[in-house]
């Protein structure tokens, strides 16, 4: 008997703060994958405006707002190192195959991530094109030379970035469910 293997997307993000762009990504991933697992993490190459506790609270709130049992939040998977999160996920859920989701803004940076060769053995990439961050053929060739496998998303996300929201806290790029938490805790002010 053939075992049904779920298609799993692992989406780690700084979520500083989670935006309508994050919301769209998660929604679109849920149309492609059987399971979408997300967590907030500290990116070692970024300076974060809010601590991980609040960023994870915001992302969890966003995910709970979907009310979709195939989209879930698991902060236990969080690590500054993608390879650690991938390994934790595979071990905890006994998954064989995982697609690790990244935006095209990270394509150049990923090539110097910790244990990148091991990451390519453990997971495939699912690359989401972002406006203003074109996917360079050179980066894709390097990934292939390192035996990395990838798919490029066909869906488009709005031109919204967390950094723009932080610089301009008028709440326009934020999911509505997050605004009360941000106001109550005086975040991003």
Average pLDDT over residues 117-138: 95
At 162 the pLDDT is 81
Residues 135-150: pLDDT tens digits?
999 999 999 999 999 9
Count of CA atoms in the C-beta half-sphere (13 A) of 92: 14
> Look-up: residue for tokens 């779920």?
6
How far is the C-alpha of 98 from the C-alpha of 157, rounded, in Å?
22
Whether residue 35 has pLDDT greater than 50? yes
Kindly list the distances between the CA atom of residue 178 and the CA atoms of 15, 59, 70, in Å, as whole numbers in the listed order: 12, 9, 21
N-term to C-term CA, the chain: 57
Average pLDDT, the chain: 92
How far is the C-alpha of 84 from the C-alpha of 166, rounded, in Å?
28
């Amino acid at each position: 008997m053939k075992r049904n293997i779920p298609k799993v997307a692992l989406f780690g993000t700084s979520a500083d703060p989670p935006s309508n762009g994050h919301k769209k990504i998660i929604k679109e991933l849920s149309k492609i994958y059987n399971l979408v697992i997300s967590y907030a993490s500290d990116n070692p190459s970024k300076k974060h405006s809010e601590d991980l506790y609040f960023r994870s609270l915001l992302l969890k709130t966003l995910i709970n707002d979907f009310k979709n049992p195939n989209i879930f939040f698991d902060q236990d998977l969080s690590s500054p190192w993608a390879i650690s999160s991938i390994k934790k996920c595979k071990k905890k859920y006994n998954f064989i195959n995982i697609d690790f989701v990244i935006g095209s803004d990270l394509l150049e940076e990923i090539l110097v991530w910790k244990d990148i060769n091991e990451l390519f053995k453990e997971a495939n990439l699912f690359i989401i094109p972002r406006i203003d961050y074109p996917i360079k053929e050179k980066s894709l060739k390097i990934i292939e030379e390192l035996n990395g496998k990838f798919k490029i998303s066909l869906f488009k996300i709005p031109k919204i970035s967390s950094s723009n929201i932080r610089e301009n806290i008028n709440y326009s790029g934020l999911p509505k469910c997050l605004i009360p938490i941000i106001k109550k805790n005086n975040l991003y002010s």
